[in-house]
Amino acid sequence: MPPDAAGKRRRHGRDRSHRWILVHMIEEYARHNGHADLLRERIDGVTGE
């Protein structure tokens, strides 16, 4: 199935493509990883490079 094919789910009355869903999931995953990194830094005091 092409990434731009419309999905069956609607959000706010608009169809979402598979590409939109994939990009949204990547954004959410990255956001949660950032939160976990902030918590880890607070616990162990070590920051990344």
**Is there a domain that residue 30 lies in?**
yes
**Is there a domain that residue 2 lies in?**
no
Q: 29: domain range?
A: 16-44
The pair of three-digit structure tokens given for residue 28, joined into one six-digit string: 């959410």
pLDDT in tens, 4-49: 666 555 556 778 888 888 999 999 998 888 888 888 888 988 776 6
pTM of the shown model? 0.55
**Is there a domain that residue 7 lies in?**
no
**Is there a domain that residue 26 lies in?**
yes
Return all residues near 6 (Cβ < 8 A) that are at least 6 apart.
15, 16, 17
Number of compact structural domains in the chain:
1
**Is there a domain that residue 33 lies in?**
yes
**Is there a domain that residue 32 lies in?**
yes
